[in-house]
């Protein structure tokens, strides 16, 4: 059974095709610059690369372009559209309606649309992707996989804010959490790697990339996570500020900043970029720090400190922790950053092995000392594969 995985953004369309249940990726592609004068598609199939450039005025054209590339006689991935047994869609926000992935029907479409106000930059594009996919793939089953679903097991003590309760009831203001598909995927891989049962295993998963979040997982269920009502809360990130005293916003408004300007600053000009004044890319900052740049060193230390603070809080709440998992672009590839984070957590039973950390590099593996009570793992995430797994399971039911 072949599953097409779709991640539709406002100006891009990522896709990948999996053979299930073998979980083999057959090929993937990216359509960029939708709605702009010059768009392009790049598709990888084994060692072959297909590249096309043309104007892509809307998502309908993008989907048609994707299907033409997938079925290309010389460089395509499939011979016929009939080979696609299902389509799995990444959807950012499922609100409180969905705690798991679902087959898409009209009710699901309405729920995704209702949650557009909670994710105005993502849900409308995700919804467009679903509609256009239905238009080009006919009656093929469509599955929605929500970023927020995994965190619907948070207890009220973790998801409520200390504001009047009526605001939760009226405006749905609560912690939703994001990156749920990634946290779920790596937690399942960790159980398989370590041959552990979900029933007696707790872990902390660290998805560290340009966007970053940490999740406390107790017996397979998310019980706390760092991102909140939006992805702006929590860890300091590449360009996002993370946790912030709300009064800072009022203070800056009084000094002439408007809301839209502050929104841009906190989301796009803060974090590693804002503190360092150099870059949001960890590689650039590590290079500058090695040359003695004080602001680069300060930004890296602050990033690691914020992560340690969350790990410490989650260790306290979980009581027993079996694994710490690093994933995401920085978690998987940031060898120095992993060491920087773990180097001061020995009092919690987290002992990194510096040589193993170097040897594992960006591969999956154990980077903790043999005597470490808490095992430290590096696991590359694969959200596309998790979406394919969910779609396959639901369609087979």
Kindly state the percentage of the chain with pLDDT values over 70: 100
- Distance between CA atoms of 344 and 266, rounded to whole angstroms? 29
Q: Tell me what pLDDT residue 116 has.
A: 94
In the predicted model, is pLDDT for residue 299 greater than 90?
A: yes
pLDDT above 90 (res 206): yes
Q: Average pLDDT for residues 329-346, to the nearest whole number?
A: 97
Separation between Cα atoms, residue 186 and residue 207, nearest integer Å = 9
Chain segment 64-105, per-residue pLDDT in tens = 999 999 999 989 999 999 999 999 999 999 999 999 999 999
pLDDT score, position 263: 96
pLDDT surpasses 90 at 138: no
Indicate if the pLDDT at residue 305 is higher than 90: yes
Burial class, 157, CB count within 10 angstroms (exposed 0-12 / middle 13-18 / buried 19+):
exposed
- When pLDDT is cut at 50, 70 and 90, the band that residue 10 belongs to is confident
Q: Is the pLDDT of residue 121 over 90?
A: no
pLDDT of residue 388: 98
φ/ψ of residue 243, rounded to 5: -55, 135
Report d(CA 161, CA 11) in Å as an integer. 33
Catalytic residue among 72, 105, 147, 199: 147
The arithmetic mean of pLDDT across residues 266-286, rounded, is: 97
Q: Read out DSSP for 309-374?
A: HHHHHHHHHHSS--EEEEEHHHHHH-HHHHHHHHTT-GGGTB-B-HHHHHHHTTSSEE-B-TT-SB
* Average pLDDT score over residue span 298-319: 97
Known catalytic membership, residue 147: yes
For 23: left if phi > 0, alpha if psi spans -120 to 50, otherwise beta; the answer is left
Return the pLDDT at 37: 84
């Amino acid at each position: 059974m072949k599953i097409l995985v779709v991640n539709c953004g406002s100006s891009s369309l990522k896709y990948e095709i999996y053979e299930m249940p073998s979980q083999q990726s057959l090929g993937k592609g990216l359509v960029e610059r939708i709605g702009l004068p010059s768009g392009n598609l790049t598709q990888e199939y084994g060692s072959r690369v297909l590249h096309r450039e043309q104007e892509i005025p809307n998502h309908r054209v993008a989907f048609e372009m994707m299907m033409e590339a997938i079925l290309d006689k010389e460089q395509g991935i499939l011979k016929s559209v009939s080979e696609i047994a299902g389509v799995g869609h990444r959807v950012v926000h499922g609100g409180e309606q969905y705690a798991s992935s679902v087959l898409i029907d009209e009710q699901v479409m309405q729920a995704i649309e209702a949650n557009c106000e909670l994710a105005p930059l993502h849900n409308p594009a995700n919804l467009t992707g679903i509609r256009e996919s239905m238009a080009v793939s006919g009656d093929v089953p469509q599955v929605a996989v929500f970023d927020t679903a995994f965190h619907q097991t948070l207890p009220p003590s973790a998801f409520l804010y200390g504001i009047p309760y009526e605001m939760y009831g009226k405006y749905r203001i609560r912690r939703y959490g994001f990156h749920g598909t990634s946290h779920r995927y790596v937690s399942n891989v960790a159980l398989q790697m370590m041959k552990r049962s979900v029933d007696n295993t707790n872990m902390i998963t660290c998805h560290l990339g340009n966007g970053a979040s940490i999740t406390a997982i107790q017996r397979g269920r998310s019980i706390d996570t760092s991102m909140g009502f939006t992805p702006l809360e929590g860890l300091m990130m590449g360009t996002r500020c993370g946790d912030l005293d709300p009064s800072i916003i009022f203070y800056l408004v009084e000094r002439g900043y408007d809301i839209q300007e502050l929104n841009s600053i906190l989301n796009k000009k803060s974090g590693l970029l804002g503190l360092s004044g150099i870059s949001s890319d960890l590689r650039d900052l590590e290079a500058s720090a090695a040359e003695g740049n004080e602001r680069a060193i300060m930004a890296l230390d602050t990033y690691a400190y914020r992560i340690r603070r969350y790990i410490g809080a989650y260790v306290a709440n979980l009581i027993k922790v079996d694994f710490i998992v690093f994933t995401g672009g920085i978690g998987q590839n940031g060898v120095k950053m992993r060491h920087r984070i773990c180097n001061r957590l020995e009092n919690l039973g987290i002992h990194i092995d510096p040589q193993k950390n170097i040897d594992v590099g960006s591969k999956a593996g154990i980077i903790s000392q043999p005597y470490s009570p808490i095992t430290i793992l590096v696991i590359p995430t694969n959200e596309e594969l998790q979406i394919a797994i969910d779609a396959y399971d639901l369609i087979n039911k």
